[in-house]
Amino acid sequence: MLVTGGTRGIGLAVSRSLVVAGARVVLTGRDATAAAEIAAALAADHPSGEAVGVAADVRDPASLRAAVAVAAERYGRLDALVANAGVGRMAHIQELSDDDWREVIDTNLTGAYHSVRAALDALVASGGTIVTIGSLAGAHAFAGGAAYNASKFGLVGFTEAIMHDLRELGVRVATVMPGSVATGFSRRSGGDDAWKLQAEDVAEAVLFVLRNPGRALPSRIELRPARRRPTGGN
Ligand SMILES: NC(=O)c1ccc[n+]([C@@H]2O[C@H](COP(=O)([O-])OP(=O)(O)OC[C@H]3O[C@@H](n4cnc5c(N)ncnc54)[C@H](OP(=O)(O)O)[C@@H]3O)[C@@H](O)[C@H]2O)c1
Protein backbone atom coordinates (compact mmCIF):
# COMPACT_ATOMS: atom_id res chain seq x y z
CA MET A 1 0.00 0.00 0.00
CA LEU A 2 1.30 3.50 -0.80
CA VAL A 3 -0.02 6.49 1.16
CA THR A 4 1.12 9.92 0.00
CA GLY A 5 1.32 12.51 2.76
CA GLY A 6 1.35 9.83 5.44
CA THR A 7 3.31 11.81 8.00
CA ARG A 8 0.41 13.70 9.61
CA GLY A 9 -3.32 14.07 9.84
CA ILE A 10 -5.50 11.94 7.57
CA GLY A 11 -2.60 10.20 5.81
CA LEU A 12 -1.09 9.14 9.13
CA ALA A 13 -4.46 7.85 10.35
CA VAL A 14 -4.92 5.89 7.10
CA SER A 15 -1.40 4.48 7.38
CA ARG A 16 -1.98 3.48 11.00
CA SER A 17 -5.30 1.79 10.22
CA LEU A 18 -3.69 -0.14 7.38
CA VAL A 19 -0.77 -1.30 9.52
CA VAL A 20 -3.16 -2.30 12.33
CA ALA A 21 -5.09 -4.31 9.73
CA GLY A 22 -1.89 -6.15 8.81
CA ALA A 23 -0.96 -4.28 5.65
CA ARG A 24 2.53 -3.43 4.44
CA VAL A 25 2.64 0.33 3.94
CA VAL A 26 4.97 2.75 2.22
CA LEU A 27 4.16 6.23 3.50
CA THR A 28 5.58 9.41 2.03
CA GLY A 29 6.21 13.00 3.02
CA ARG A 30 8.61 15.65 1.84
CA ASP A 31 11.14 15.05 4.61
CA ALA A 32 13.00 11.73 4.57
CA THR A 33 13.87 11.69 8.27
CA ALA A 34 10.34 12.52 9.42
CA ALA A 35 8.80 9.93 7.09
CA ALA A 36 11.24 7.23 8.22
CA GLU A 37 10.74 7.98 11.92
CA ILE A 38 6.96 8.03 11.68
CA ALA A 39 6.87 4.75 9.77
CA ALA A 40 9.27 3.13 12.24
CA ALA A 41 7.06 4.21 15.16
CA LEU A 42 3.95 2.83 13.44
CA ALA A 43 5.62 -0.50 12.75
CA ALA A 44 6.93 -0.72 16.33
CA ASP A 45 3.52 0.07 17.83
CA HIS A 46 1.64 -2.33 15.55
CA PRO A 47 3.64 -5.46 14.75
CA SER A 48 0.61 -6.83 12.88
CA GLY A 49 1.77 -4.95 9.79
CA GLU A 50 4.80 -3.25 8.31
CA ALA A 51 5.63 0.34 7.40
CA VAL A 52 8.47 2.17 5.72
CA GLY A 53 8.70 5.92 5.23
CA VAL A 54 10.31 7.54 2.20
CA ALA A 55 10.71 11.07 0.92
CA ALA A 56 8.52 11.76 -2.08
CA ASP A 57 7.20 15.16 -3.09
CA VAL A 58 4.04 14.63 -5.14
CA ARG A 59 5.12 17.52 -7.37
CA ASP A 60 8.14 15.43 -8.38
CA PRO A 61 7.25 12.38 -10.53
CA ALA A 62 10.71 10.81 -10.15
CA SER A 63 10.42 10.78 -6.35
CA LEU A 64 7.04 9.04 -6.64
CA ARG A 65 8.45 6.42 -8.99
CA ALA A 66 11.17 5.80 -6.42
CA ALA A 67 8.53 5.33 -3.70
CA VAL A 68 6.68 2.79 -5.86
CA ALA A 69 9.99 1.02 -6.44
CA VAL A 70 10.45 0.74 -2.66
CA ALA A 71 7.07 -1.00 -2.41
CA ALA A 72 8.01 -3.37 -5.22
CA GLU A 73 11.43 -4.17 -3.76
CA ARG A 74 10.32 -4.65 -0.16
CA TYR A 75 6.88 -6.13 -0.60
CA GLY A 76 6.87 -7.48 -4.15
CA ARG A 77 3.59 -5.82 -5.10
CA LEU A 78 1.43 -2.72 -4.70
CA ASP A 79 -2.22 -3.30 -3.84
CA ALA A 80 -3.37 0.25 -3.24
CA LEU A 81 -2.52 3.90 -3.68
CA VAL A 82 -4.08 6.39 -1.28
CA ALA A 83 -3.45 9.77 -2.95
CA ASN A 84 -3.83 11.96 0.11
CA ALA A 85 -1.07 14.59 0.09
CA GLY A 86 -2.56 18.06 0.00
CA VAL A 87 -2.21 21.66 1.08
CA GLY A 88 -4.71 24.43 1.76
CA ARG A 89 -4.02 28.05 0.92
CA MET A 90 -7.23 29.98 1.44
CA ALA A 91 -7.45 33.54 0.08
CA HIS A 92 -9.96 35.61 -1.80
CA ILE A 93 -9.03 35.99 -5.45
CA GLN A 94 -7.99 39.62 -4.86
CA GLU A 95 -5.31 38.48 -2.43
CA LEU A 96 -4.36 35.07 -3.82
CA SER A 97 -0.70 34.96 -4.83
CA ASP A 98 0.50 33.19 -7.97
CA ASP A 99 2.77 31.07 -5.77
CA ASP A 100 -0.13 29.89 -3.59
CA TRP A 101 -2.26 29.08 -6.65
CA ARG A 102 0.57 27.03 -8.13
CA GLU A 103 1.37 25.21 -4.88
CA VAL A 104 -2.24 24.17 -4.35
CA ILE A 105 -2.88 23.04 -7.92
CA ASP A 106 0.54 21.39 -8.27
CA THR A 107 0.12 19.46 -4.99
CA ASN A 108 -3.57 18.62 -4.75
CA LEU A 109 -4.38 18.05 -8.42
CA THR A 110 -1.24 17.51 -10.47
CA GLY A 111 0.34 15.70 -7.49
CA ALA A 112 -2.49 13.16 -7.53
CA TYR A 113 -2.02 12.76 -11.28
CA HIS A 114 1.72 12.12 -10.81
CA SER A 115 0.96 9.66 -7.98
CA VAL A 116 -1.46 7.68 -10.13
CA ARG A 117 0.90 7.64 -13.11
CA ALA A 118 3.77 6.39 -10.94
CA ALA A 119 1.70 3.59 -9.38
CA LEU A 120 -0.39 2.60 -12.37
CA ASP A 121 1.59 -0.29 -13.83
CA ALA A 122 1.97 -1.90 -10.40
CA LEU A 123 -1.75 -1.47 -9.67
CA VAL A 124 -2.78 -2.95 -13.01
CA ALA A 125 -0.48 -5.91 -12.27
CA SER A 126 -2.04 -6.46 -8.83
CA GLY A 127 -5.64 -5.59 -9.71
CA GLY A 128 -5.33 -2.90 -7.07
CA THR A 129 -7.27 0.08 -5.82
CA ILE A 130 -6.79 3.84 -5.98
CA VAL A 131 -8.41 6.06 -3.36
CA THR A 132 -8.01 9.80 -3.69
CA ILE A 133 -8.72 12.06 -0.75
CA GLY A 134 -11.01 14.62 -2.31
CA SER A 135 -13.07 16.98 -0.22
CA LEU A 136 -16.56 18.38 0.04
CA ALA A 137 -14.68 21.43 -1.27
CA GLY A 138 -14.59 19.44 -4.50
CA ALA A 139 -18.36 19.76 -4.80
CA HIS A 140 -19.21 22.95 -2.88
CA ALA A 141 -17.31 26.20 -3.43
CA PHE A 142 -16.81 28.88 -0.79
CA ALA A 143 -15.37 32.39 -0.59
CA GLY A 144 -11.61 32.19 -0.22
CA GLY A 145 -11.50 28.78 -1.87
CA ALA A 146 -10.51 29.79 -5.42
CA ALA A 147 -7.35 27.68 -5.49
CA TYR A 148 -8.46 24.96 -3.08
CA ASN A 149 -11.91 24.51 -4.63
CA ALA A 150 -10.36 24.45 -8.11
CA SER A 151 -7.88 21.77 -7.03
CA LYS A 152 -10.51 19.58 -5.37
CA PHE A 153 -13.20 19.99 -8.05
CA GLY A 154 -10.43 19.00 -10.48
CA LEU A 155 -9.36 16.06 -8.35
CA VAL A 156 -12.91 14.73 -8.08
CA GLY A 157 -13.31 14.99 -11.87
CA PHE A 158 -9.92 13.38 -12.47
CA THR A 159 -10.78 10.52 -10.10
CA GLU A 160 -14.14 9.88 -11.74
CA ALA A 161 -12.62 9.92 -15.24
CA ILE A 162 -9.90 7.42 -14.36
CA MET A 163 -12.45 5.25 -12.56
CA HIS A 164 -14.05 4.81 -16.00
CA ASP A 165 -10.65 4.32 -17.68
CA LEU A 166 -9.39 1.71 -15.25
CA ARG A 167 -12.38 -0.39 -14.23
CA GLU A 168 -11.98 -2.47 -17.40
CA LEU A 169 -8.39 -3.18 -16.35
CA GLY A 170 -9.47 -4.44 -12.94
CA VAL A 171 -8.27 -1.36 -11.04
CA ARG A 172 -10.88 0.05 -8.67
CA VAL A 173 -10.90 3.83 -8.21
CA ALA A 174 -12.71 5.84 -5.56
CA THR A 175 -12.64 9.23 -3.91
CA VAL A 176 -13.40 9.94 -0.27
CA MET A 177 -14.64 13.51 0.14
CA PRO A 178 -14.51 14.62 3.77
CA GLY A 179 -15.92 17.78 5.24
CA SER A 180 -13.89 19.52 7.93
CA VAL A 181 -11.48 17.20 9.72
CA ALA A 182 -9.70 18.10 12.97
CA THR A 183 -6.10 18.08 11.69
CA GLY A 184 -3.40 20.75 11.60
CA PHE A 185 -4.55 21.45 8.02
CA SER A 186 -7.84 23.09 8.89
CA ARG A 187 -7.21 24.51 12.36
CA ARG A 188 -7.80 28.04 11.20
CA SER A 189 -10.41 29.40 13.57
CA GLY A 190 -8.65 28.20 16.72
CA GLY A 191 -12.11 27.45 18.09
CA ASP A 192 -13.85 24.31 19.22
CA ASP A 193 -13.11 21.35 16.91
CA ALA A 194 -15.58 19.01 18.61
CA TRP A 195 -18.05 19.16 15.71
CA LYS A 196 -15.45 18.14 13.12
CA LEU A 197 -14.63 14.71 11.74
CA GLN A 198 -11.54 13.02 13.13
CA ALA A 199 -8.79 11.74 10.84
CA GLU A 200 -9.72 8.21 11.97
CA ASP A 201 -13.22 8.67 10.52
CA VAL A 202 -11.68 9.30 7.10
CA ALA A 203 -9.36 6.31 7.54
CA GLU A 204 -12.42 4.16 8.26
CA ALA A 205 -13.98 5.25 4.96
CA VAL A 206 -10.76 4.49 3.06
CA LEU A 207 -10.59 1.03 4.62
CA PHE A 208 -14.24 0.47 3.72
CA VAL A 209 -13.31 0.96 0.06
CA LEU A 210 -10.20 -1.20 0.30
CA ARG A 211 -12.00 -4.03 2.10
CA ASN A 212 -14.76 -4.11 -0.48
CA PRO A 213 -13.33 -6.38 -3.13
CA GLY A 214 -16.64 -7.59 -4.51
CA ARG A 215 -18.89 -6.55 -7.36
CA ALA A 216 -19.71 -3.21 -5.82
CA LEU A 217 -17.49 -0.14 -6.08
CA PRO A 218 -18.25 2.70 -3.66
CA SER A 219 -16.64 5.16 -6.05
CA ARG A 220 -17.52 8.40 -4.28
CA ILE A 221 -18.00 8.76 -0.55
CA GLU A 222 -19.10 12.14 0.85
CA LEU A 223 -18.25 12.14 4.54
CA ARG A 224 -19.82 14.91 6.59
CA PRO A 225 -19.55 15.75 10.26
CA ALA A 226 -22.80 14.44 11.74
CA ARG A 227 -23.24 17.78 13.50
CA ARG A 228 -23.23 20.96 11.47
CA ARG A 229 -20.49 23.52 11.83
CA PRO A 230 -21.70 25.96 14.53
CA THR A 231 -21.76 28.73 11.88
CA GLY A 232 -23.41 26.53 9.21
CA GLY A 233 -21.87 24.92 6.09
CA ASN A 234 -21.60 21.50 4.46
N1 LIG B 1 -8.40 18.58 7.21
C2 LIG B 1 -9.52 18.78 6.53
O3 LIG B 1 -10.46 19.47 6.98
C4 LIG B 1 -9.70 18.14 5.17
C5 LIG B 1 -10.99 18.04 4.65
C6 LIG B 1 -11.17 17.44 3.40
C7 LIG B 1 -10.08 16.99 2.69
N8 LIG B 1 -8.84 17.12 3.22
C9 LIG B 1 -7.71 16.63 2.43
O10 LIG B 1 -7.07 15.57 3.11
C11 LIG B 1 -5.70 15.53 2.73
C12 LIG B 1 -4.85 15.49 3.99
O13 LIG B 1 -5.13 16.64 4.76
P14 LIG B 1 -4.79 16.73 6.31
O15 LIG B 1 -5.91 17.45 6.95
O16 LIG B 1 -4.40 15.42 6.83
O17 LIG B 1 -3.54 17.74 6.24
P18 LIG B 1 -2.18 17.81 7.08
O19 LIG B 1 -2.40 17.35 8.46
O20 LIG B 1 -1.64 19.17 6.82
O21 LIG B 1 -1.24 16.73 6.33
C22 LIG B 1 -0.88 16.94 4.99
C23 LIG B 1 0.04 15.81 4.55
O24 LIG B 1 0.38 16.03 3.18
C25 LIG B 1 1.79 15.98 3.06
N26 LIG B 1 2.21 16.86 1.97
C27 LIG B 1 1.95 18.16 1.76
N28 LIG B 1 2.51 18.59 0.63
C29 LIG B 1 3.14 17.52 0.09
C30 LIG B 1 3.89 17.30 -1.08
N31 LIG B 1 4.13 18.29 -1.97
N32 LIG B 1 4.38 16.07 -1.33
C33 LIG B 1 4.16 15.06 -0.45
N34 LIG B 1 3.45 15.19 0.68
C35 LIG B 1 2.96 16.41 0.94
C36 LIG B 1 2.34 16.39 4.41
O37 LIG B 1 3.61 15.79 4.61
P38 LIG B 1 4.98 16.60 4.83
O39 LIG B 1 4.65 17.94 5.41
O40 LIG B 1 5.73 15.68 5.78
O41 LIG B 1 5.59 16.68 3.48
C42 LIG B 1 1.33 15.75 5.34
O43 LIG B 1 1.66 14.40 5.59
C44 LIG B 1 -5.46 16.74 1.85
O45 LIG B 1 -5.52 16.34 0.49
C46 LIG B 1 -6.63 17.65 2.17
O47 LIG B 1 -6.96 18.50 1.10
C48 LIG B 1 -8.61 17.67 4.45
Domains in the chain with CATH codes? 2-223 (3.40.50.720)
Residue of 115, 149, 185 best suited for mutating to test ligand 1, as the one with most atoms within 8 Å of CB: 185
- The mean pLDDT of 96-100, rounded to a whole number, is 98
Which residue among the candidates 11, 50, 120, 148 is catalytic per the annotation?
A: 148
Given a cut of 90, is residue 46 above it in pLDDT?
yes
| 75 is a catalytic site residue | no
Mean pLDDT across the chain: 95
Nearest Cα residue to atom 8 of ligand 1:
135
**Which numbered atom of ligand 1 lies nearest the CA of 56?**
33
Q: What is the pLDDT of residue 212?
A: 87
pLDDT exceeds cutoff 90 at 213 = no
pLDDT of residue 169: 96
Judge if pTM exceeds 0.85: yes
What is residue 234's predicted lDDT score, i.e. its pLDDT?
Answer: 57
Q: Worst-scoring range by mean pLDDT, 78-82, 136-140, 168-172, 227-231?
A: 227-231
Band (214; pLDDT cuts 50, 70, 90): confident
Would you say 5 and 58 are in contact if contact means Cβ atoms under 8 Å apart?
A: yes
By the 8 A CB rule, do 68 and 78 touch?
yes
- Which of 1-10, 21-30, 49-58, 205-214 bottoms out in mean pLDDT, i.e. has the lowest? 205-214
pLDDT at residue 195 tops 90: yes
Roughly how many angstroms between the first and final C-alpha of the chain, as a whole number?
31
Q: How far is the CA of 215 from the centre of ligand 1 (A)?
A: 31
Q: Which residues line ligand 1 (CB under 6 A)?
A: 4-11, 28-31, 34, 57-59, 84-87, 107-108, 111, 133, 135, 178, 180-181, 183-186
Residue whose Cα lies nearest atom 48 of ligand 1: it is: 181
